[in-house]
Structure 1
Amino acid sequence: MKYIKPAIITLAVLFIGFLGYQKLSANKAIIDEKAQQQEVKITAIPVTTTTVNSQKVNNELAIIGTFAARKELSIIAEAQGRITSLKVTEGQSIGRGQLIASIDDASIRAQLTTAQASLDKAKKDVERYSNLLSVGAISQTQFEEIQLGMQNQQSNITAIQQQLQYTRVKSPMNGIVSEILLEEGSFTNPGTEIATVVDISQLNMIVMVDERDVVKIKVGQSVNITTDVYPDVIFKGKVNQIGVQADAARKYEIAVELNNNDRQHPLKAGMYGTAIIPTGDNTEKFVLTVPRKSVAGSLKQPQVYVLKDGNIASLKNVEVGETIGDQVVILSGLQEGDQVITTGQINLDDGRQVKVIK
């Protein structure tokens, strides 16, 4: 009996081990089956296409820009003191020389009174020393020193009078008060900005033009301007400045000058408009265009894939012209009605079979 119990245990362990081996073998077979991948050969690359179209273009640039005041000046205090009164309000029209603000001038007037008294005394001294000089009681040098003292007093009064004028802040030009930065009672120092005046009787429309088009524009040429505010009105302007330095986006600033004297259709600085700038004659022409994204590679060595026989991608060299929005002008290499591939080119090579996705 003592050998029966160990034998039973041994047989149980062997049986359990056998079952575990069977289970592991079955799992391994399933894993191996899933790991096997059947090679699928893609015979046709999915692509989308578009038709080469003929598009009408003219020799004009239509560019959105912003109206800006041709003149804008900051009114700066030239005297120190407290502002005793402001004579203008924001949005008010003012003329050249009109009073904008008054600065406390009490101390300057006191200085002027003292200086005037000193000048009166100096004049009397000159008169008295002149009499002494005539009788030889003093030298010519002594008399000239007294005269110099009187002249210094006169110069001092002139300087104080100039400071007194600085306490009356006036507009240097005609325009509209666009902003007031201080209030009555504020303390100013020389150089403190009090207000801003803009002249919008003439405006500049600022547009940005890329390097390809800026060479076609000349100073003085006429420009038509349209706005969303007055959609039925065409404003007339002319190019008065062309930038000489491009910005980070390789664009140049063009300033178009126009009068703003139409009271029925007044424009304001900051509004948007569209400048229509002619770049040649006004004749219209038709050109072939394709989407920019259909051009493979760069515009310096352009190529496009053309759909042949309904399912073959044929790589063609083309010559491109200017870009019109998201379209590129094709000068040679394609014909109207050709089907060009617009997506999927990254997986293509010449002669590859494709499938057009609708």
Structure 2
Amino acid sequence: MKQTIISLFSTIFFLISCNNDKDQETSPQYRSLTEAVYASGNIYPKNEYKLTANADGFLVRQTAFEGDVVSKNQLIFQLESISQDARLEASSNILRQAEANYGDNSPVLAELTSQLRNARTKLSNDSINFNRYKELYDRSATTKIEYERAELAYQTSKNDVIARQKALQRTKSQLYVDLQNSQSSFRVNAREGDNFRIKTFEAGKIYEIYKKQGELVRRGEQVALIGDANEIYAQLAIDESDFVKVKIGQEVLIKIDVYKDKVFKAKVSKLYPKLNKADQTFRVDAEFETDKPNAYYGMTLEANIIISQNARVLTIPKNYLVGNDSVWIEQNGDKKKIRIIKGVENLDLVEIKGGLHEKSILVREN
């Protein structure tokens, strides 16, 4: 356990001093004893994320700044995209032309439809003429040559109508494919254009911006740090020797330097099982209860995680402890070293579960 503690927690930890300067004698006393684990850490916003660029370009426009509250999908940065803008404009023009070619007022389809209508009119006339010549030929009122000429004209018109029907359908199908391809190309270019416009994923506050207007931004580079300003948590570092004592739901008392003597209450919400080898600590997260500090990113804090609270236990000052389990007592005018059975302890007091009683006289080792 760290050998520092928040001074404000004097209501939890008792400093026992002896008044007998000669022998420094004292006796065990029943007191309220709270066992706590010390932790240091910082305050962070929930739902924290970093905006990254999806394209290379110079930052030419910035619409929000550090400290600003932003909404979901809000445009924050615009990157220069001259060539991409040109591609998007070209695909937009091609799409408009494809829509016009396939639309109700399509000049291409109107011309083919008109040609089909004329061919059907001619077929109707040639059909009437063919039937008339057939009747005349059946009555031997015309020659076979005239009859066959009328029949050939009718068959030619019939084939012409079929061919123009197929041409119209084929052209409509091709124009539809062209329209679909144009729409796909436009969507791709529009989506690529979105890569030059950096937007937020979720609402929050901008805590830090890493790039300035005019600077070159590379694809994958981080440009801003954003988090939820309304929801914050305490990220604590616990010494590995104390980590096994910490459980989810335990009360946490937090002291933040900028708030002077104010103490915030929180609850342990999450334990992280991986040891940080750099400082031999484990990470523990705590959720604030009703009263929360302002969401200033990374504010340092000190905390005590309440492990146990005992309303009335027999205690001795910790500085009378010899080694880990012995004390010196005065017995019949002599000093004697005895073993004790310890319970919980804090920086100042040790619970005595065996070996001493209220009338025992403890002395300090010379």
Query: Residues 201 and 323 of structure 1: is their aligned pair in 2 closer, same or farther, counting only changes over 3 Å?
Result: same
Q: Secondary structure at the match of 2:259?
A: coil
2:216 maps to what in 1? Answer: 187
1:106 matched to 2:133? The reply is no
- 2:235 corresponds to which of 170, 184, 206: 206
Looking at secondary structure, tell me which structure has more helix per residue: 2
SS in 2 for 1:154: helix
Cα distance in 1, alignment partners of residues 302 and 50 from structure 2: 29
Letter of the 1:178 counterpart? Y
Q: Distance in 1 between matches of 2:331 and 2:243?
A: 36
Q: How far did 1:196 drift?
A: 1.6
Of 149, 161, 165, 2:190 maps to: 161
Aligned to 2:362: 339
1:288 to 315, 318, 323: 315
Matched residue type, 2:71: G
Give the 3-state SS of the residue equivalent to 1:90 in structure 2.
coil
- 1:238 is matched with 267
**C-alpha RMSD over aligned residues:** 4.1
CA distance in 2, matches of 1:99, 1:59: 52
1:270–1:83 CA distance, 2 compared to 1 (3 A) = closer
Q: Is the 8 A contact 1:201 1:260 kept in 2?
A: no
The partner residue of 2:299 within 268, 271, 275 is 271
**Greater relative contact order (Cα 8 A, min sep 6): structure 1 or 2?**
2
Alpha-carbon distance change, 80 to 260 in structure 1, aligned in 2, over 3 angstroms: farther
State the alpha-carbon separation in 2 of the partners of residues 261 and 309 from structure 1: 56
Q: CA deviation at 1:75?
A: 1.6
> Matches of 2:304 and 2:351 in 1, distance apart?
21
Alignment counterpart, residue 29 of structure 2, candidates 51, 54, 57: 54
Q: Is the contact between residue 264 and residue 291 of structure 2 (CA under 8 Å) also seen in structure 1? A: no
Letter of the structure 2 residue corresponding to residue 291 of structure 1? K
SS of residue in 2 equivalent to 1:115:
helix
Counting aligned pairs with the same residue, the percent is 21
Q: 1:330 aligns with which of 330, 333, 352?
A: 352
Task: For residue 330 of structure 1, give the secondary structure of its aligned residue in structure 2.
Answer: strand
In the alignment, the residues of structure 2 paired with residue 192 and residue 213 of structure 1 have an alpha-carbon distance, to the nearest angstrom, of 36
How far did 1:223 drift? Answer: 4.8
- Secondary structure of the corresponding residue to residue 58 of structure 2: strand
Q: 1:317 aligns with which of 329, 339, 345?
A: 339
**Residues 285 and 253 of structure 1, relative CA distance in 2, 3 Å threshold:** farther
2:46 corresponding residue in structure 1: 70
Letter in 2 for 1:57: S
Q: What is the rounded CA distance, in whole Å, between the counterparts of 1:153 and 1:110 in structure 2?
A: 15
> Counterpart of 1:79?
55
Question: Structure 2-normalised TM-score?
Answer: 0.61
Q: 2-side partners of 1:106 and 1:320: how far apart?
A: 75
Separation of aligned partners in 1, 2:354 and 2:223: 63
Q: Is the CA contact (8 Å cut-off) linking 1:304 and 1:315 kept in structure 2? A: yes
Q: Aligned-pair distance for 1:164?
A: 1.8
Please state whether the residue corresponding to 2:266 is helix, strand or coil: strand
2:284 pairs, out of 238, 254, 273, with 254
Task: Tell me whether 1:135 sits opposite 2:153 in the alignment.
Answer: no
Instruction: State the Cα distance separating 1:159 from its structure 2 match.
Output: 0.9
In 2, the alpha carbon distance for the partners of 1:217 and 1:108 equals 55
CA 1:57–1:246: 2 relative to 1, 3 Å: farther
Q: In the alignment, does 2:72 pair up with 1:96? A: yes
Which whole-Å CA distance do the structure 2 matches of 1:96 and 1:179 have between them?
17
Alignment partners' CA distance in 2, 1:307 and 1:193: 69
Give the 3 Å change call, closer, same or farther, for CA 308–261 of structure 1 in structure 2. closer
Aligned length: 286
> What amino acid maps onto 1:338 in structure 2?
I
Cα shift at 1:242: 2.6
Cα offset for 1:118?
3.8
Please state how far the C-alpha of 1:183 moved relative to its aligned partner. Answer: 1.6
Q: 1:42 corresponds to which residue? A: none
The residue matched to 1:172 in structure 2 has which SS? coil
Q: Provide the rounded CA distance (Å) in 2 between the counterparts of 1:222 and 1:341.
A: 35
Deviation at 1:245, TM superposition (A): 3.8
Q: Report the CA distance shift for 1:259/1:180 in structure 2 as closer, same or farther (over 3 A).
A: farther
Q: Which residue of 1 aligns with 2:137?
A: none
Give the letter for the 1:182 counterpart. K
CA gap 1:251/1:169 in 2 versus in 1, 3 angstroms: closer
Q: Which letter maps to 1:257? A: E
1:35 is matched with none
Please state how far the C-alpha of 1:247 moved relative to its aligned partner: 4.5
Unaligned ranges ≥5, structure 2: 1-22, 113-161
Which residue of 2 is the match for residue 151 of structure 1? 180
Q: Secondary structure at the match of 1:83?
A: strand
The 1:98–1:225 alpha-carbon spacing in structure 2 relative to 1, beyond 3 Å, is same
Structure 1 range deviating more: 93-102 or 124-133: 124-133
Paired residue type of 2:362? Q
Structure 1 residues 253 and 49: CA distance shift in structure 2, 3 A? farther
Give the unaligned 5+ runs of structure 1: 1-47, 343-355
Quote the Cα distance in structure 2 between the aligned partners of 1:290 and 1:261. 34
TM-score when normalising by structure 1: 0.62
SS of the equivalent of 2:90 reads helix
